[in-house]
Amino acid sequence: MSDPLKELEEKASREPYARKLGIRVLEIRQGYALVEMPLGGDLLNIHGLVHGGAIFSLVDAAFELASNSHGQVALALSMNITFHRPPEVPGVLRAEAREISLSRRIGSYHIEARDQQGQLIATCQALVYRKA
């Protein structure tokens, strides 16, 4: 029998968009994921701060893995992100997704992004639809 968590981690390691951003999977277990991304000058916006889209992408990667960790296809319904402070560059950003509730069709997740000092950079509440 195959291991859905191992398969998910292998898929994540081959995902082109995540590879482009340098996103690495640190841990996946049912209802949980921890990922990280290096922060460099190539991710800056017009104000010289890390682009919100880059932060969102890391948060989304953690959400994707945590919500698909049960071996059932889960697709995002909504994500509500709040940016608290900009991370320093160069640096490393980590996103941790935790499952809050899970039913047959809907999953709810809380995701936090923190910098290398552990400072809170962004939080996100997210919902998925779980396909049958």
Global pTM reads 0.96
Quick one: tokens of 113?
């992004």
State residue 39's pLDDT score: 98
> What H or E segment, with its residue span, contains residue 39?
strand 32-39
Residue 2 has pLDDT above 90, yes or no: no
Whole-angstrom Cα distance, residue 2 to residue 26? 21
Report yes or no: 91 and 115 within 8 Å, Cβ to Cβ: yes
The CATH H-level (homologous superfamily) assignment of domain 4-130 is Hotdog Thioesterase (3.10.129.10)
Cβ-proximal residues to 79 (8 Å cutoff; 6+ apart), any chain: 56, 59, 60, 63, 124, 125, 126, 127
Q: What's the pLDDT tens digit per position in 45-75?
A: 999 999 999 999 999 999 999 999 999 999 9
pLDDT score of 132: 82
Q: Are 58 and 25 in contact (CB under 8 A)?
A: no
14, 60, 80 from 124: Cα distances, Å: 25, 9, 5
* Mode of pairing for the β-strands spanning 74-83 and 32-39: unpaired
pLDDT value, residue 94: 98
What are the tokens at 67? Answer: 């919500």
Whether the predicted pLDDT of 1 surpasses 70: no
pLDDT for 25 equals 97
Q: What would the pLDDT profile of 67-121 be if each residue is shown by its tens digit?
A: 999 999 999 999 999 999 999 999 999 999 999 999 999 999 999 999 999 999 9
